[in-house]
A and B are shown apart, each in its own frame.
Chain A
Amino acid sequence: MSDVKTSQKSVRQVEIEILRYNPDTDEKPYFQTYQVPCQEEWVILDAVNYIKDNLDRSLSYRWSCHMAVCGSCGMMVNGEPTLSCHAFVRDMPDKITIEPLENFPIARDLIVDMDGFVEKLSSVKPYINAAEEKTVEQGTYQQLPEQLQLYKQYTQCINCMLCYSACPQMALNDGFVGPAALALAHRYNLDSRDKGREVREDVVASNAGIWECSFVGACSEVCPKHVDPAAAIQQTKIAATGDYFKKFLMPWKNAQKGQAPEGGDQ
């Protein structure tokens, strides 16, 4: 009984404004406002779920785990890219504005079209390109804990796309490969089992890759998993610059690969 009383006391009326868009009926998105009795322990996703369950069943959005692991419930909350399961309503003002993630086309309400993002992820070949394939009999590709530590941070990405939404370069240039994909490429480039750095270089070290980044650093600030994509991109820039100069200092390596130094994109 006392628990019920406590929860009743902690309820706060919050005005939640959500950007709505139905591709079948709407020419452009519009805001719809809901009055939501939010409880003390609620995260933004709980409030959106309340709207869906009690106020408006037509509201569409993605979510799954409710514990900042699946990366599917990213939204703009008061203009900030946020995992809605990772932000408490109690830390927000009495009026909250929720929009779909910026820098992505809106498919419906809070659902964005992520096809372009998936294509960019695939373009950096985010998997181990081993020097030579091992058969099952030959065993596993082994690695020391110290070698794992070099890239472990970059494996934590949950593809929530908050970094793409925070990046002003992404807003101005849709062709930019983007923070998450470049961080993922860096993760594999640092992996001692991987030998695919040159294979990724065409995309990663291109103008649409690392050189499009002007180091705003917003991607790292909004990342809920502390992946720090800005760091990955800057380190890749340094490595790519080294590669470029190595082409001049070691021309016999270019001959082996059939490349001319001028072929660099930096």
Chain B
Amino acid sequence: MKLTNGNYVRPPARYSWWLRQGRYFRYMMRELSSLFVGIFSIIMICGLYQLSQGEAQFTAFTSSLWNNFWWLSVITFLFVTYHSYSWFIVTPKAMPLRFSGKKVAPWIIIGAHMILWLICSIFIWFIFTNGGAQ
């Protein structure tokens, strides 16, 4: 589009811009992953409700979920994992920690988040599997 002052404005790629570069695509996948975080949250709330109805109800719910919607569980797991990972790797930008007057290296902040994430996951897995064994 030619402006009155002679300058030319290139029309932006309104719908396909995110396919042009890897960084834009990764960003869109991070945003899309929010949808699966929402799905995961709904499943979780349903699961908690079933749990409140008793062990048999909860076991039937998880079995039904896995037998009929295993593909949704796999996709949701992958996206939720990517969601957590993609946000943890940008935490140093929002958390400029300083220690003894010096900036803490970004890899330490990212690493601390990742380790905490891993510990929490193992802890929850441990409770879940042990709870099932008893």
Contacts and interface: CB of A to CB of B under 8 A. Distances in A.
A133 interface: no
B115 interface: no
Contact of B24 (A24, A146, A218): A218
Contact of A231 (B2, B31, B94): B94
B111 interface: no
A217 B27 contact: yes
B7 A235 contact: no
Interface residues of B, number: 26
Interface stretch (B11-19, B56-64, B68-76, B122-130): B11-19
Contacts of B7: 23, 105-107, 113
B24 A23 contact: no
Interface string B1-12: 011011111101
Interface residues of A, number: 33
A28 B23 contact: no
B2 A172 contact: no
Given A27-B2, A216-B23, A221-B23, A234 B93 contact: yes
B119 interface: no
Nearest to B9: A105
A103 B12 CA distance: 8
B46 interface: no
Contacts of A79: 20-21
B31 to A, nearest CB: 8
Contacts of A21: 8
B38 interface: no
Interface in B79-128: 90, 92-94, 96, 101, 103
Contacts of B24: 168, 216, 218
Interface in A148-191: 149, 168, 171-172
